[in-house]
Amino acid sequence: MSARKTALVTGASSGIGRELARLFARDGYDLVLVARNATRLEALAAEVRESHGTHALVLPTDLALPSAADEVYAHIESRGIRVDALVNNAGFNVYGPFAETDGAAELDMLQVNVIALTRLTKLVLPGMVRRGSGRILNLGSTGSFAPGPFDAAYCASKAYVLSFSEALAAELEGTGVTVTALCPGPTRTAFATRAGMTETPLFSGRVAEPSGVAETGYRALMRGRRVIVPGIGNALLAFSVRLSPRTLVASVGRRMLLRTEAA
């Protein structure tokens, strides 16, 4: 790796994470790319190397494993890599009635969405504070703002991401380190297909492109914004949720997240 700034991006093999990695490469960052799919990571590394002269370290890793975050950090430490920007993008959903969903899969989801994100931040942040500079981007969701029936554990995990990010941002005032929560709405990635949510009203309307979401999040990160919700409709929804009775919010969420054939 070179002496240029370095961004560590989890969930970099596809979707929003891949687009964010491309944006960092465009702006002269070297990359540490983390995801399970080694083939896709290697393809992305080759692409940014050819397009931007970017050095990219590929670390195929399953962040659902409890030791994964520490192993990633140990690997970059052994190479003397300084993380200037951390993007905690990795995450997935387990969708369905909570009484029926796979409990083991939900624990894996919480490990990725909450524990790995927290642990990587814990490991990287002290160095940023010592240097007086650094940027952290955490992937939340419009689900961060509201309870999600049939998506209860996932929305709760994203509520954690938002609260954690906002609290850290306030703690770090004056240190030169910023924390941004990117909270997109429905986006055209493999997320909905993997979760079995393509037949819900939430994904039946307009769906954002991952490149646009990533660009919005990246600009907000570079400006030091604490929370960014891409899209006017999504932003208005997130704002209205904070003003509405929680029972009403949950009821509306139930209608949006119930599969069409079950409605």
- Residue of 73, 158, 160, 218 with catalytic role: 158
CA 18 to CA 198: how far, in whole Å? Answer: 22
Please give the structure tokens belonging to residue 235: 């932003």
Q: Is residue 10 helix, strand or coil?
A: strand
Active site residue 122: no
Show Cβ contacts of residue 253 under 8 Å, excluding neighbours closer than 6 positions: 146, 147, 148, 149, 151, 155
Helices marked H in the chain — which ranges? 15-26, 38-52, 68-78, 103-110, 117-131, 152-171, 191-195, 210-223, 232-243, 246-257
Element (H, E) at 137: strand 134-139
Measure the CA–CA gap between 64 and 66, rounded to whole angstroms: 6
Annotated catalytic residue, options 95, 154, 160, 218 = 154
Q: Are 5 and 28 in contact (CB under 8 A)?
A: yes
Catalytic site residues? 154, 158
